[in-house]
Structure 1
């Protein structure tokens, strides 16, 4: 695989310590923008549209759309993340909150399936599943998530309810991680340019192996694109004896990447109504473990979007193993045989 010839730098190479004091990544909705959102929700209901019919044209946001265009540019070309604050979920039904979230998300990219069941609106909460089950994904539990990427261009989260304790969102610049490793441990940095067998957790597209092999670091068309899930790289070594065995230096590279991710990360504690959007190719994300409320109606609940903007960067051909079609605006997500795309308001 092609390697960078030196550090990448730029606005994408931020560190959490700096971002924790700058806070210009928090964007507050204005009263006029909130009025536009409510008007668009009402128009959606009057038209009798289904959630699958939400588009920028059907969910009109004349003023906010211009700001969302700038947000998308900062996601794809700048620091790679934003937190939008001030949307009152307590005053709205879950359905109306989801409609608003989908409408805002539609201005940033097309919706992509987040699991084998074809869910275009994801639910992040503790379903009480046993993580030892090879088909269970960590976001369905209350366990800490290691730093990772998802299978899309842009990841969005809307906080409906917070946990009793914990559950903080952590993000880190993969560009900063790359540059630090290149400076301090160049041999380990180079090892992350090797294709890594990664467990699909039972969500296997037709004709594919139960794992894919893509390098963590990918230098293509003058950009670094990162794809990473250390938990699933390691589980592929356990679950699939026929997958390529990692070398000692590759294991050391993964360990160093995980340690640096914690060191350089930014933690943000969501408030109900917060909308976080991150550029998946230059940001790793994770979550601290959490203790939930005993009452079911109070339990931690986030809505998630996977989005594919038409303005997204070119990706190397090797990403087709995971993304399928790598055409900007029509890539990413998880589709297996018999997947039916759908929106659901119920966690499952």
Structure 2
């Protein structure tokens, strides 16, 4: 595989330093865009731009400027978010209950499902088992809760320069824990390589170090060897290396889109402001398949 033996270039190869001059991943919604969303007008240009950013650009995009709480209620904003997702592809279930939309809010809320995303602690770096994950921010946290994103191609380039002897390791299949969210009757883990190439020869990534390690709780999952564990720890250290990942603070009304094949993501811990509903973190999440 050619992409596995060369340094990658292109717009999906980036570091935090490349984004210091601005926010190139943000598209500000215009009044024309909002009118189109209001009246179900043609959204071809908006969707084409979003897809281009996700598939041919840096793999990450934010649509900013949806006036939640003024022009739109939370429910109306959620419908707009869903409409855009449906134009991108197919909205798919996120858990064993078949939920197509998951609301992430105060981890103490009785309706909140279990899982890392239900915790106020920082989330580990991971990719999701869908093409695109999208969040609608209805309210940010009082403090913290930044989205943390890194280029998978940049990670691969660092690996190939510093430890080319591990290129074979990352192309092998690894069991990944489904954390109890598998559909009834299916195995609790799935298997896939960390780095591979798609039909067009483009590098694609599936990396969740925590879930790879926790998959060994299943008796039928092969144990990781010392070299494999060291490689995983190295990849994790690359993601946390200063300057690699960009931190993004979502604003109310932001709609975030992440290409899971080219961008690895996490979240910092957060604290809500109990006295201010506008600063109690609330996100609506969708998983989208576009293949």
Q: Same fold (TM over 0.5)?
A: yes
Aligned partners of 2:68, 2:84: CA distance in 1, in Å?
A: 14
Residue 225 in 1 paired to residue 204 in 2?
yes
Aligned partners of 2:115, 2:41: CA distance in 1, in Å?
A: 35
In the comparison of the two structures, how many residue pairs are matched? 283
Residue 144 in 1 paired to residue 144 in 2?
no
Alignment partner, residue 66 of structure 1 = 45
SS in 1 for 2:222: coil
1:59-104 residue CA offsets vs partner (Å, 9 max, x unmatched)? x332x43122122022112211111111111222221111111112
SS in 2 for 1:107: helix
Alignment partner, residue 282 of structure 2 = 301
User: Pick from 71, 77, 80: which aligns with 1:100?
Assistant: 80
Aligned partners of 1:83, 1:73: CA distance in 2, in Å?
A: 13
User: How much has 1:242 moved relative to structure 2?
Assistant: 3.2
Q: Flag the structure with higher strand content.
A: 2
Alignment map for 1:189-268 (pairs within 5 Å): 189-205=167-183, 208-221=186-199, 222-237=201-216, 239-263=217-241, 264-268=244-248
SS in 2 for 1:21: coil
Alignment partner, residue 259 of structure 2 = 279
1:3-55 residue CA offsets vs partner (Å, 9 max, x unmatched)? 7121222211111211232422211011111122223xxxxxxxxxxxxxxxx
- Structure 1 ranges of 4+ moved more than 6 A: none
Aligned partners of 1:233, 1:224: CA distance in 2, in Å?
A: 20
Alignment partner, residue 270 of structure 2 = 290
How high is the TM-score relative to the length of structure 2? 0.90
1:249-307 residue CA offsets vs partner (Å, 9 max, x unmatched)? 11111111111112311111111011111111001111001112225945210111111
Q: Say whether the 8 Å CA contact 1:136–1:201 is kept in structure 2.
A: no
Residue 11 in 1 paired to residue 3 in 2?
no
Alignment partner, residue 37 of structure 2 = 37
How high is the TM-score relative to the length of structure 1? 0.76
Q: Say whether the 8 Å CA contact 1:162–1:301 is kept in structure 2.
A: yes
Q: Say whether the 8 Å CA contact 1:9–1:179 is kept in structure 2.
A: no
Label 1:207 to 1:116 Cα distance change in 2 as closer, same or farther (>3 A): closer
SS in 2 for 1:170: strand
Q: Say whether the 8 Å CA contact 1:159–1:272 is kept in structure 2.
A: yes
Label 1:107 to 1:275 Cα distance change in 2 as closer, same or farther (>3 A): same
SS in 2 for 1:272: coil
Q: Say whether the 8 Å CA contact 2:126–2:207 is kept in structure 1.
A: yes
Label 1:117 to 1:295 Cα distance change in 2 as closer, same or farther (>3 A): farther
Q: Say whether the 8 Å CA contact 2:133–2:259 is kept in structure 1.
A: yes
Q: Say whether the 8 Å CA contact 1:124–1:302 is kept in structure 2.
A: yes
* Bigger relative CO (Cα 8 Å, ≥ 6 apart): 2
Aligned partners of 2:208, 2:276: CA distance in 1, in Å?
A: 30
Q: Say whether the 8 Å CA contact 1:2–1:218 is kept in structure 2.
A: no
Structure 1: segments with no counterpart, 5+ residues:
40-59, 130-134, 310-327, 329-348
